[in-house]
Amino acid sequence: QQETGGAFTYEVLVVDNGSTDSTRGVIKELQATFPVPLRDLYEDRQGKPFALNTGLQHAAGQFLAFTDDDVLPPPTWLTALWRCFRTEQADGVAGRILPRWLAPRPAWLTDPMALRFGALGCLDHGPHRRSTRERHDCRWVGGNLAIRRAVIHQIGHYDPRMGRAQDTEYYKRCIQQGFKVVYEP
């Protein structure tokens, strides 16, 4: 349901990381009527870094956007990322991820910082665009980020030894190489 206004085309890659449910069948069923190319990739080595690297190897685009299976991006998600690459000359873009509570927030979850920086896969650097060129922290999490293919060619793939820290480690490599990361809320 992404609204691009015809400014660009995109494909969707679903990397099945060893699921045991009906994921592959659902994708096969959707492919016939999906509004853009929908590709099914399988990665039998368990772990998000392996799945990410499989996606990186098979994606065709100049810009690669990542989200997770439990994230509901708004219809303007890809357009916001694309615009940020164009207007800000960004090499990477981190986006806001806010919780969508289906029930009241659990009482034990009292630390607002936990929701801002990675707990539950959330990220919130505030309501305004920021850039690492202005020395802002634009750290990302994998549910809402995009990277230029040229960056991946230079810094390589995700390190499978990192486990849950793979997004932070990849962000640090981008910054160390001097790439510009922009936070687009």
Question: pLDDT, tens digit, for every residue of 65-84?
Answer: 999 988 999 999 999 999 99
Query: What pTM did the predictor assign?
Result: 0.88
pLDDT digits (tens, 9 = 90+) for 128-156: 999 999 988 888 988 999 999 999 999 99
Q: What is the rounded CA–CA span in Å between residue 64 and residue 126? A: 23
Q: What is the rounded CA–CA span in Å between residue 121 and residue 97? A: 7
Tell me the two tokens of residue 140. Answer: 């990302």
Tell me the two tokens of residue 170. Answer: 């990849």
- Identify the pLDDT of residue 179: 97
Element (H, E) at 61: none
Q: What is the rounded CA–CA span in Å between residue 75 and residue 90? A: 21
- Identify the pLDDT of residue 61: 93
Given CA atoms 26, 28, 29, 35 in this order, what sign does their dihedral have?
positive
| Average pLDDT of the residues in 93-98 | 92
pLDDT digits (tens, 9 = 90+) for 27-66: 999 999 999 999 999 999 999 999 999 999 999 999 999 9
Does the pLDDT at position 114 exceed 70? no
Does the pLDDT at position 163 exceed 80? no
Q: What is the rounded CA–CA span in Å between residue 108 and residue 16? A: 32
8 A C-beta contact, residue 27 and residue 38: yes
| Average pLDDT of the residues in 152-176 | 91
- Identify the pLDDT of residue 113: 62
- Identify the pLDDT of residue 99: 84
Which range (65-69, 95-99, 102-106) has the least confidence?
102-106
| Average pLDDT of the residues in 98-122 | 75
The residue written with tokens 């494909």 in the block is 11
> CB pairs under 8 A, 24+ apart, for 1-4?
1/75, 2/73, 2/75, 2/76, 2/77, 2/78, 2/79, 3/75, 3/76, 3/79, 4/78, 4/79, 4/82
- Identify the pLDDT of residue 137: 86
First CA to last CA distance, the chain: 19
- Identify the pLDDT of residue 57: 95
